[in-house]
Amino acid sequence: MAKSNSAIQALALRNTRELSDSRQESRSVRSLVKHWQPPEGPSPEEVRAIIAAAGSERDRLLLHALWATGARISEVLALRPIDIRRDSLVLPNRKNPSVTVKRVFLPGTELGLTGELMLWAKENCVADDEPLFFSRKRALDGSRRALQRGQAWLIVKQASERPTSGF
């Protein structure tokens, strides 16, 4: 029993020396923690070029609204003229069902978007409760239909694949 007890003490002493030996490589817990980095993506200049490459005014405004708000496609597709404010857009809140809408304030550089959206609605005779980004096809009752998510994704994809000048 004394033999095994002394073996344990020797092992403990060796482990203590290894822990206190300054020559061993020290490892910091902080170096193992990775800091959050924003996802890689296009630069603001590249995004502006993609928006400018849109095939129509409706598509350009859709891309601009997505960029300016950072909202989901389904949230922007639900946008109606009645939801446009001077400095913000009122969008459905798909993330939190207990709060049905959210007000998204636009950055100062994007405040012109609200005027462009209102002008687009007025030029195309969009009623206050009709979808702002409507399909070219109409519903059975003749009313405007909102673009489908798949159609909007196709618009984003096509605009991002178009050759653009400037980069």
Q: What is the pLDDT along the chain (167 residues), one digit of tens a residue?
A: 555 566 566 555 555 555 555 555 555 555 566 777 767 778 888 888 889 988 899 999 999 999 999 999 999 999 999 999 999 999 998 888 899 999 999 988 898 999 999 999 999 999 999 999 999 888 888 889 999 999 999 999 888 887 655 44
Model confidence, pTM: 0.71
CA distances from 54 to 21, 57, 137, 162 (A): 64, 7, 20, 8
For residue 41 the two structure tokens come to 């993506």
Residue 159 has a pLDDT of 86
The CATH H-level (homologous superfamily) assignment of domain 44-161 is Intergrase catalytic core (1.10.443.10)
Residue 73 has a pLDDT of 93
Q: Report DSSP letters for 119-130, one per residue.
A: HHHHHTT--TTS
For residue 95 the two structure tokens come to 């993330």
Query: Rounded to an integer, what is the distance from CA 161 to the centroid of its chain?
Result: 19
Domain boundaries, the chain: 44-161
Residue 167 has a pLDDT of 46
Residue 87 has a pLDDT of 92
With both helix axes pointing from N to C terminus, report the angle between 57-69 and 44-52 in degrees, rounded to the nearest 10. 160
Contacts of 105 (CB under 8 A, 6+ apart): 87, 88
Residue 8 has a pLDDT of 60
